[in-house]
Amino acid sequence: MDREAVHIVGEMRSSWLRLGSLIQRMIDTGAIEVLGFPSMHSWMTTRLGESISNAFSALRSVRALKGVPQEKL
């Protein structure tokens, strides 16, 4: 249980980067419109529900880190 808890915390620490990067790719590629959503906010509200604030935070962080090499992140 101890190892599992440590593993989960590690995943949580890095998942914001994966989530933010994925959302940015969705914006860049127009995937939101292809899915039929009129806006990113509409997609986030529908698909992420209560986690929308975490998603916006992850996206803001990824944008702030633009230009930092992936291996450093």
Q: What is the pLDDT of residue 38?
A: 95
- Helix (H), strand (E) at residue 8: helix 2-29
Rounded Cα–Cα distance for residues 13 and 20 (Å)? 12
User: What is the chain's pLDDT, residue by residue, as a tens digit (73 residues)?
Assistant: 889 888 888 787 778 888 999 999 999 999 999 999 999 999 999 998 888 888 888 889 889 988 888 777 7
Q: What local confidence, expressed as pLDDT, does residue 5 receive? A: 85
Answer yes or no: pTM beyond 0.85.
Answer: no
> Exposed/middle/buried for 14, CB within 10 Å: 0-12, 13-18, 19+?
exposed
* The predicted structure's pLDDT at residue 27: 93
